[in-house]
Chains A and B, each alone.
Chain A
Amino acid sequence: MWLGKTTMPGLLKINSTLRVTEKIIEGLLWLSALITILVTIGIIWVLLSESIGFFKEVSIVEFLTEKEWTPLFANKKFGIMPLVAGTLLTTLIAIAVALPIGLTIAIYLNEYAHARMKQIVKPMLEVLATIPTVVYGFFALTVVTPFLQQFIPGLAGFNALSAGIVMGIMIIPMISSLSEDAISSVPRSLREAAYGMGSTRLQTSFGVMVPAASSGIIVSVILAISRAVGETMIVAVAAGQQPRLTMNPLVPIETITTYIVQVSMGDVPQGSLEYKTIFAAGITLFVFTFALNNLSFWIKKKYQEKYD
């Protein structure tokens, strides 16, 4: 007992083992949390160590300025720009689809729809986010591309357009639900003030709610961009494997992610320059998504301070 007076014999002994167990458990829990740090260090270490080998053989200047990416051909060129262009093109199309639709849904659910409808529609939209991306790829290749080819004669079998559109559909729920959260956290008083002055729902939405929730909406868009940049299977299936420095959505292109998949599927020997290219491509991808994610955290933090 607390003074050492023992009403039950043996109790103190049990408790001292308990105390040791307690410390061991805390140590194990701490280790588990530490693993998250190790994962980050691991990612950075793996990407850096392999791509340093790459940059010993290929200059950074060539990597950033060369306009062709042909590491698997006889005439090797190592310019990342075509892959970056392909990634940006599909991302741009995806956001062009997802932003207007997602934001409209967010506004509609907040200002127009009944609470009951919101309850039903939101989880249904989230189904879109649970479908495996390879399945979206199949959809882009076998349904969307043939469908679009009826209207756009020049559309190739593999193209950025279908992949981008389907990716956009996939990230609709991301934008709609994050934006909806942002809009519904705008203080009631602001909305009531707008209605009080005789505004319509549309005027209230675009004149008051959207501007007030703008930082939250921007965060949702940045996270969506980050997601689209890192998306792999849709583009690997439907956008092609031809690195090309173009903004033409109708022709086959290749994204950073697709390139990594392409090399992984083949028989590139470990330690070769070709093998190291996937890490150089990986670190480029990582830098993009890391910057976008942290930008969104930064905006979110500022935004929270504003409302607290």
Chain B
Amino acid sequence: MSKKHNKLEAKNLNAYYGDFHALKNINIAMDEKNVTAFIGPSGCGKSTFLRTLNRMNDYIEGFRVEGDILLDGRDIYAKDVRVDELRKEVGMVFQKPNPFPKSIFENVVYGLKIQGIKKKSILEEAAEQSLRQAALWEEVKDKLDKSALALSGGQQQRLCIARALAISPSVLLMDEPASALDPISTAKIEELIYELKNDYTIVIVTHNMQQAGRVSDYTAFFYMGELVEYNKTKSMFTSPKNERTQNYITGRFG
């Protein structure tokens, strides 16, 4: 098996909300077609970091970044990078399912339509393929024109995953994707993540330690804006090197 290459890399990354120093000198490299989990107590910077990876924080006033984030070796904060093109490469799934108040079909093909793709046959094929990948096809194939808001929470979240997959990104960012869901839906999402890592590089933020252990290959522990420890998930959970990591994993704080 060939060695996996660095898909995403942060070098000396610092981020600020106004005067608040949210991320402190982060250095990390994530391999392609792996699942990397970000863990840490709330306010530790894990979500902020995730959102710098597709520049979602650009819209927040007073937010700024120093340092580099490299996607396939290129700085995504460079001047000539189009943010909308970047996001077609780096998809995102949010904490709470946020389907658009439109039909299921329209939700899935939205990303393609705004790229100017109008041909019905292409859209239909893309919709079926993405919904299958998101393990939702069988449940919704007969009601594609029904409102997405009528789906259950778990189905909505899988729809949001299908929506992100439809524009064929290579990276998928997931911000606590199961935190608003019941245990059965959560299990489905986790299974799905396991399937998807064959084709995608996945970064997932989670507050749930067991979940990180179940789904990820690598885990990064953040604390107070710093990346404390980053290692293979198995090693991290069995023999954390840093005391703070150990305290967090064993549930002594957080």
**Tally of A-B residue pairs with Cβ under 8 A?**
25
Residues B85 and A15 in contact, CB atoms below 8 Å apart: yes
Judge whether A2 is part of the interface by a CB distance below 8 angstroms. Answer: yes
Q: How far is the CA of A3 from the CA of B71 in the complex (A)?
A: 10
Residues A2 and B88 in contact, CB atoms below 8 Å apart: yes
Judge whether B116 is part of the interface by a CB distance below 8 angstroms. Answer: yes
Question: CB-CB < 8 A to B76: which residues of A?
Answer: 2
Question: CB-CB < 8 A to A1: which residues of B?
Answer: 85, 88-89
Bits for A50-94, please: 1 = Cβ < 8 Å to B, else 0.
000000000000000000000000000000000000000000000
Residues A18 and B116 in contact, CB atoms below 8 Å apart: yes
- Who on chain A is nearest to B83 by CB? A2
Q: How far is the CA of A15 from the CA of B84 in the complex (A)?
A: 10
Q: How far is the CA of A2 from the CA of B80 in the complex (A)?
A: 9
Residues B89 and A2 in contact, CB atoms below 8 Å apart: yes
Residues A14 and B88 in contact, CB atoms below 8 Å apart: no
Main secondary structure of the interface of B (DSSP, over half): loop
Name the contact of A3 in the complex, choosing from B74, B116, B117 (C-beta under 8 A): B74
Question: CB-CB < 8 A to A15: which residues of B?
Answer: 82, 85, 115
Question: CB-CB < 8 A to B140: which residues of A?
Answer: none
Judge whether B81 is part of the interface by a CB distance below 8 angstroms. Answer: yes
Main secondary structure of the interface of A (DSSP, over half): loop
Q: How far is the CA of A11 from the CA of B88 in the complex (A)?
A: 12
B interface residues, tally (CB under 8 Å): 14
Q: Which of B115-141 contact A (CB under 8 A)?
A: 115-117
Interface centre among A1, A3, A11, A18 (most CB of B within 10 A): A3
Residues A14 and B81 in contact, CB atoms below 8 Å apart: no
Question: CB-CB < 8 A to A7: which residues of B?
Answer: 168
Q: Chain B: residues with CB nearer than 8 A to chain A? A: 71-72, 74, 76, 81-82, 85-86, 88-89, 115-117, 168
Q: Chain A: residues with CB nearer than 8 A to chain B? A: 1-3, 7-8, 11, 14-15, 18
* Extra inter-chain contacts (14) besides given A3-B89, A15-B82, CB under 8 Å: A1-B88, A1-B89, A2-B71, A2-B82, A2-B86, A2-B88, A2-B89, A3-B72, A3-B74, A8-B117, A11-B116, A14-B115, A15-B115, A18-B116
